[in-house]
Amino acid sequence: MTDIPSGSGAVARTTMDKVHGSLARRHRKQLILQIFGITAISLAFLMLFILLASLITTGHKAFTQTEITLEVFIDPEEISVERLPRGNFTNVLAAAVAADLPSVDQQDRAEMRVVGGILSNGAQFQLRDRVVEEPELIGQTITISVPVSDPYDQLHKDLLDRETPENLRRLDDTQIAYYDRLVENGAIAASLNTGLLTNADSRFPELAGLKGAIMGSFWALLTCFLISFPLGIGAAIYLEEFAPKNKLSDFIEVNINNLAAVPSVVFGLLALSVFIGLFGLPRSAPFVGGLTLALMTMPTIIIATRAALKAVPPSIREAALGLGASKQQVVFGHVVPLAMPGILTGTIIGLAQALGETAPLLLIGMNAFITSAPATPFDSATALPTQIFIWADSPERGFVSRTSAAILVLLTFLIMMNAIAIYLRSKFERKW
Amino acid sequence: MDALRTVTRDIDTNSTKISARGVQVHYGDTHAIKDVDVDIKERSVTAFIGPSGCGKSTFLRCINRMNDTIDICRVTGDIRIDGDDIYDRSIDPVQLRARVGMVFQKPNPFPKSIYDNVAYGPKIHGLARSRAEMDEIVERSLRRGAIWDEVKDRLHAPGTGLSGGQQQRLCIARAVATDPEVLLMDEPCSALDPIATAQIEELIDTLREKYTVVIVTHSMQQAARVSQKTAFFHLGNLVEYGDTDDIFTNPKDRRTESYISGRIG
Ligand SMILES: Nc1ncnc2c1ncn2[C@@H]1O[C@H](COP(=O)(O)OP(=O)(O)OP(=O)(O)O)[C@@H](O)[C@H]1O
Ligand SMILES: [Mg+2]
């Protein structure tokens, strides 16, 4: 070290000085870049946090449902075996509530109507179904839990302010007194709202559930998957591996990329005029919804599949070809299996997009009011996003929290699908 | 080191395995191979040498029609193996490649187990009738690839988990598993260290007992060590072809001489 001539040492020093000067500049640039990146990510997280927080604060109330537990005497005078399934179930229930409220005069029809109003409109059907199933219950006293109607549900969840002047409130002082009395008796309690997932839609928020929408989305996505997955992958494999590279295939490629960018509402209009108008397929059917979504998902799958096929190293193809594998053996024995993680990820991301798609489903009528879940893909139904759209549009207070809850359910499904995509990708990931 | 010895060469009594006449290759407008005539002897090692871009790989890939997979590549002329024109309409390239195996520059095992790598060729050509027969083919091939002892306890471990030299020997084992007549090797040692290279060279020397081997190499020493015949390519022309000893000790063409003495390349 010591015997290095001083001349070259000087040269080295000046070079190092220059490097030092530029080093400081480069570090500064890197720091700025890092700050930008961290800021951007923090902002994104903040937005996500605000979104989720607001959804959860409004939506969590919809995950419980206020119910009233009643000792119901099934009065043979009101309900007779011969007239089932008809019968005066409302009166029987009102009487059961009134039994808990000593101040109520059971002969006063107006008052009894107010008492009956504590219960959800669906309570009578719940009781009816129970009695139809076991007619021998007539004449007996049974214990049954039924939902309370929306204003009482709101009151129980502290969403109804008792300080509001009486004439502006949805419940007057007497009604609140009834409610307080029932709470005192321990008849009213909140329980987990399983109806949110097991009921279909309803005019009454306390009865409205997502079963119809979930089943509708399920059938639509199933149709979409069954059509777009094989067609998309087949098209991609053909275009990438077998099609001659010429003007026509270039033209097709450009058009597929364009198709992926077409606004979804256009696909909805297309579906409306072709599937429903021309082919006469039923309106509001998840099958038609699935066809429409397949149109939109297919370009995504084709693009993802082609990218995944391109990413398979050529050395693997050469190895197989060199051993005398045919083109088809190379593609299906080596290239496609190696591209599978990418293909599956692309497909699931495409399906997740389809799950959240609203506009095309609105156009084909999947925003109809339907109170039963679809049993087949050809029954009228809604889908999760259109259900959210319907509920967000409904005036009843109870639908506000249900809308948020429905959004949370939709987000849960989306997160689950993305988690599956990540899992599949890591499971099938192979090194070469 | 044993492998670095100069191989004692047989007297050339072998018959011609591959004969090429007037071979021309174009990649679009690039004229990559210009009118090449060559006769490659059976059960011998023939080395292709020459500066980068002179067309060694291109010519090698003509012999098993791997160039067919390149859209813009056009091959004309006549290449015969055992007298059969391999570019004849009646010849299926898939069948040809079962007769003419290939080992590539970069080891390229399939991301499958060692066993499946070797078994792949026999499987697609239906060479084994039973599991036991397949086991036998795999073992024989791995032995021929001089890698059996290293992998016999982990046949079901992934082939990609081997070292570079082991991977290349696995690829050689995979290529010989279909029992080809000709083995083409495109710079098989360029990604390997000297020890792995020595192992492969030794292996090539034993392979010549059974196969006709054509090897592309950038190392003159390697060509001298393993081959009996050497072909020198320059700018798409086959400049000189003859016994390796003659080419290296007594080159006839000025270009060959400059190349082997390190003046062009
Ligand atoms: N796929 C291809 N498309 C177009 N031109 C090609 C292609 N492959 C090779 N060529 C051209 O053909 C000529 C010969 O290439 P080749 O790969 O045969 O050379 P090489 O002798 O193997 O060189 P190296 O020693 O560097 O591997 C080169 O000019 C090259 O640019
Ligand atoms: Mg080459």
pLDDT confidence bin for A239, thresholds 50/70/90: very high
- Residue A56 in any domain: the answer is no
Rounded to the nearest angstrom, the gap between the alpha carbon of residue A7 and the centroid of all alpha carbons in its chain is 74
B106 lines ligand 1 (CB under 6 A): no
Asked if residue A395 belongs to a domain, the reply is yes
Same domain assignment for residues A83 and A179: yes
pLDDT digit string, tens, across residues A308-337: 999 999 999 999 999 999 999 999 999 999
Largest CA distance in chain A: 120
Residue A430: pLDDT band by 50, 70, 90 thresholds?
low
- Classify residue A14: in a domain, yes or no: no
Predicted pLDDT of residue A273: 94
- Beta strand B45-49 with B229-234: parallel, antiparallel or unpaired? parallel
* Interface touch A334/B71, C-beta < 8 Å: no
Q: What was the pLDDT predicted at A104?
A: 83
pLDDT of residue A308: 94
Whether ligand 1 lies within 6 angstroms of the CB of B76 is answered as no
pLDDT of A78-88, one tens digit each?
888 887 788 88
Domain containing A269 equals 211-428
Tell me: do A153 and A241 sit in the same domain. no
Is residue A10 pLDDT above 60, yes or no? no
My answer on whether A391 and A275 are in the same domain is yes
Q: Are A305 and A184 found together in one domain? A: no
| Contact at CB, A323 and B121, closer than 8 angstroms | yes
Q: Is A140 found in the same domain as A66?
A: yes
Does residue A408 share a domain with residue A264?
Answer: yes
**Ligand 1 pocket test: which of B30, B48, B70 has the largest number of ligand atoms within 8 Å of its C-beta?**
B30
Element (DSSP H or E) covering residue B230: strand B229-234
pLDDT for the residue numbered A426: 83
What's the CA gap between B227 and B45, in Å, rounded?
5
CA B263 to ligand 1 center in whole angstroms: 21
Q: pLDDT tens digits, residue range A196-219? A: 888 888 888 888 899 999 999 999
Q: Which residue, A193, A225, A249, sits at the end of a domain?
A: A193
End-to-end CA distance of chain A: 46
Asked if residue A278 is part of any domain, the answer here is yes
Please check whether residue A305 is in contact with residue A346, taking contact to mean a CB–CB distance below 8 angstroms.
Answer: yes
The answer to whether residues A256 and A379 belong to one domain is yes
A325 touches chain B (CB under 8 A): yes
> What band does A431 get if pLDDT is binned at 50, 70 and 90?
low
Q: Which of A123-137, A293-307, B120-134 has the lowest mean pLDDT?
A: A123-137
Q: Are residues A170 and A282 in the same domain?
A: no
Ligand nearest to the CA of B53: 1
pLDDT at site B10: 44
pLDDT value at residue A88: 85
Q: Nearest to residue A388, comparing CAs of A224, A183, A262, A216?
A: A216
Average pLDDT over residues A265-281: 93
CATH number of the domain that residue A309 is part of: 1.10.3720.10
Residues from chain A that touch B121, judged by Cβ atoms under 8 A, are 323-324
Q: For ligand 1, is residue B22 a contact (CB within 6 Å)?
A: no
Q: Are A90 and A156 members of one domain?
A: yes
Sign (positive or negative) of CA dihedral B64, B66, B69, B70: negative
Distance B215 CA to ligand 2 centre (A): 11
For B68, which residue in chain A has the nearest alpha carbon?
Answer: A321
Are A184 and A267 contained in the same domain? no
Tell me the percentage of chain A whose pLDDT exceeds 70.
Answer: 97
Of the residues B65, B71, B100, B120, the best mutation for testing chain A's interface (the one with the most A CB atoms within 10 Å of its CB) is: B120
Separation between Cα atoms, residue A332 and residue B112, nearest integer Å: 15
Q: Is residue A35 part of a domain?
A: no
Nearest in space to A184 (alpha carbons), one of A99, A101, A93, A66: A101
- Examine the domain organization and report whether A292 and A379 are in the same domain: yes
Tokens of A236: 């991609």
Closest by Cα among A320, A317, A311 to A341: A311
Per residue of chain B (265 residues), what is the pLDDT tens digit?
344 444 444 444 568 899 999 999 999 999 999 999 999 999 999 999 999 999 999 999 999 999 988 889 999 999 999 988 999 988 899 889 989 999 998 899 999 999 999 999 999 999 889 999 999 999 999 998 889 999 999 999 999 999 988 999 999 999 999 989 999 999 998 878 888 889 889 989 988 998 999 999 999 999 999 999 999 999 999 999 999 999 999 999 999 999 988 766 5
pTM: 0.81
Task: State the nearest Cα–Cα gap between B102 and chain A, in angstroms.
Answer: 6
Q: Which of A162-171, A216-225, A406-415, B211-220 has the lowest mean pLDDT?
A: A162-171
**Same domain as A232, residue A182:** no
Residue B95 has its nearest CB partner, among A318, A324, A329, at A324
Residue nearest to atom 28 of ligand 1 (CA): B53
The kind and range of the H/E element at B100 are: strand B100-103
Complex ipTM value: 0.86
Q: Where are the alpha helices (DSSP H) in A117-246?
A: 123-133, 150-156, 173-184, 195-198, 211-237
Q: How confident is the model at residue A123 (pLDDT cuts 50, 70, 90)?
A: confident
The residue to which tokens 């500064």 are assigned: A28
Please count the structural domains in chain A.
Answer: 2
Q: Is B104 in the pocket of ligand 1 (CB under 6 A)?
A: no
A357: nearest Cα among A388, A380, A402, A403: A388
